[in-house]
Structure 1
């Protein structure tokens, strides 16, 4: 034999099908011991080595074709899921691919077709909230649409630096890029970002760059829903404990808070914190020092709400009998606070998926857009009508 023995050769020598040989190679439990022994004996006799080819190089399409007893054109059709291939031929080729350990050369395929089916993802900043969930949404949506994902990071600098990072991905044949951006770090760079590939951005708020599509959670709507929930319960004396007003997130939530109050014909106060549990605790202590407590408190995020719960518990104030409390984010564990926290949930998986959807629309020739992902009010045990546990 002038070439390295293949799956078909082993199958013939052992008197079994090529599918059975593939099952033996992959440790499949459905193969009977005597059949397995016969296949292993044939491999030993022929000198068969999985993944081996005559030159010692990585197996290629020609090697798969020889092992499967078909033409390289047929192998190509199987790899491209062409409907003209008969099921039994497809199975033989797939068995040869598995046996040889063949891996498709995506770079060569991209050069030949002009398409890589790959999307780049840039992590812009080191303080990216709920990054694993966002990436899950990105990768799931991309895979479902038949695309792969390649990731790079950028930790600050000017528009030129961010453009260079995007360009490096483009040089690797990505067809479009999604940027997951920490606004304080990336906003100025995004405003001046220019690229030869379509771009979508996940970030709170947008920037004046008509080339970019943006996706964000509708925090204004989420805050308005939180206020409306308290109003519907009968609360009229309300306070919002905000995050730092130099951040977009805090301003967006205050905007929703104010819109909710206007819609209800109510007034209300804003006390500024910094999105930490310690600031929530401190602001709650300020409220406790006043002659009367508000009946409803909307905290800027769940961390601040945790601090409020701790301060109220320390002072003997019972939530929700004395004060109803709403948070924002629905962080892990919010349902297990005492009481379970009513809060506004941000769907970060949907955020990632939305970025892929708008990017694919750009790749199909669409125009840049701004998509808002709805926030969801999650009602638990920390809110009730005034004076009722």
Structure 2
């Protein structure tokens, strides 16, 4: 087994003192750019990973961040958590996590107390529902707080992927293909993401002067998509469905197949999230992709800025991306499918 690389090994390779290496890691502003570059090159060559404990003692900082996640273990929710953890580790921080299936005041306060007792330098809240925002809104913390939620109503520093825009993209693309009656399979009403996607669908239809039908509500699962799909298969009032997530879209595809409805010849289906399996559905699913890796970087960048005492804007919304596959096409009465225009989603 190879011996663990130490700070002294880095100092020897870079031709500097042990203290200079420590300054590069903990206070690089005190080191010249040339020296910093030489030290970082040595760190990379030796694949040196500094001890969190040693860095905390040297800087009197814990290098620890708290992460509270509320809601079900859904694809997008877990992806946000993973992406943030990776970004935190890349910045030299460890993450202390607390996952709450339901956002209740007592459990939220308990989780905050545990994190604050660990002297975390900042806290990130990944909020799935309005209740989590209501609880945190009344709590005063002595550390920076960044919230990852899609509504923008938290009143705190907020970083998110624009769910509203993503829904407009999906709905607008179906309209560009020629669909005039577009159903929406929405997520549960307690979900902030589902509500923003519902709002985006409605807004885009209204902007284009298309009929807004009452949405159908699922619970994010393929089973709910299948159940609703069987009901939709008995109606001829629409030619396309925008599903609020890919799992429910999978259930729709299954139900339509069982009912003899061909996708996209008879019905177009579009989802949201671009889960790994979406490209392998039958047919491959058109969907809206969220860049969770970039989201994790943005959350960490905002939190680090706050930790350093600098100001940032109250909210930051990253744009999703429309991924066109085989589950969408023009309705039978129109011409062949067309690609979306460069930016049809803004008035």
CA distance in 2, matches of 1:248, 1:131: 12
How far has the Cα of 1:132 moved from its partner? 5.1
CA deviations on 1:191-223 (whole Å, 9 max, x unpaired) are 222110111011232445x4x311222111111
Normalised by the length of structure 2, the TM-score is 0.77
State the match for 1:199 in structure 2: 145
Q: Is the 8 A contact 2:182 2:240 kept in 1?
A: yes
How far has the Cα of 1:277 moved from its partner? 1.8
Of the three residues 109, 126, 129, the one matched with 2:58 is 109
State the match for 2:19 in structure 1: 76
CA distance in 2, matches of 1:103, 1:282: 51
State the match for 1:177 in structure 2: 123
State the match for 2:326 in structure 1: 381
How far has the Cα of 1:170 moved from its partner? 4.0
Over 4 Å off, 4+ runs: 82-85, 101-104, 156-161
In the alignment, structure 2 segments of 5+ residues that lack a partner are 25-30, 338-347
State the match for 2:344 in structure 1: none
How far has the Cα of 1:310 moved from its partner? 1.1
Q: Is the 8 A contact 1:127 1:182 kept in 2?
A: no
| Secondary structure in structure 2 of the residue aligned to 1:362 | helix
State the match for 1:37 in structure 2: none
How far has the Cα of 1:153 moved from its partner? 1.0
Of the three residues 114, 117, 121, the one matched with 2:67 is 121
How far has the Cα of 1:337 moved from its partner? 0.6
Q: Is the 8 A contact 2:181 2:238 kept in 1?
A: yes
- 1:317 correspondence with 2:266: no
- 1:283 correspondence with 2:259: no
How far has the Cα of 1:229 moved from its partner? 0.4
CA deviations on 1:210-256 (whole Å, 9 max, x unpaired) are 4x311222111111111110111111122112223343222211211
State the match for 1:270 in structure 2: 214
Distance verdict in 2 for CA 1:104–1:344, change over 3 Å: closer
Q: Is the 8 A contact 1:201 1:214 kept in 2?
A: yes
Q: Is the 8 A contact 2:206 2:212 kept in 1?
A: no
Q: Which moved more, 1:224-233 or 1:157-166?
A: 157-166
How far has the Cα of 1:141 moved from its partner? 3.4
- 1:372 correspondence with 2:321: no
Normalised by the length of structure 1, the TM-score is 0.69
CA distance in 1, matches of 2:117, 2:55: 14
| Secondary structure in structure 2 of the residue aligned to 1:105 | helix
Distance verdict in 2 for CA 1:126–1:321, change over 3 Å: closer
Distance verdict in 2 for CA 1:298–1:359, change over 3 Å: same
CA deviations on 1:325-353 (whole Å, 9 max, x unpaired) are 11111122010011100011122222222
Q: Which moved more, 1:199-208 or 1:123-132?
A: 123-132
CA distance in 1, matches of 2:187, 2:52: 50
Q: Is the 8 A contact 1:239 1:296 kept in 2?
A: yes
CA deviations on 1:151-197 (whole Å, 9 max, x unpaired) are 13153675565355445434434322222233266233212221101
| Secondary structure in structure 1 of the residue aligned to 2:204 | helix
Of the three residues 108, 111, 133, the one matched with 1:162 is 108
| RMSD (Å), alpha carbons | 3.6
Of the three residues 207, 218, 223, the one matched with 2:162 is 218
CA deviations on 1:348-375 (whole Å, 9 max, x unpaired) are 2222222112222323321561221212
Q: Is the 8 A contact 1:159 1:192 kept in 2?
A: no
State the match for 1:305 in structure 2: 249
State the match for 1:233 in structure 2: 177
CA distance in 2, matches of 1:260, 1:125: 28
| Secondary structure in structure 2 of the residue aligned to 1:80 | helix
| Secondary structure in structure 2 of the residue aligned to 1:269 | coil
Q: How does 1:19-58 map to 2 (within 5 A)?
A: 26=2
In the alignment, structure 1 segments of 5+ residues that lack a partner are 1-24, 28-49, 52-59
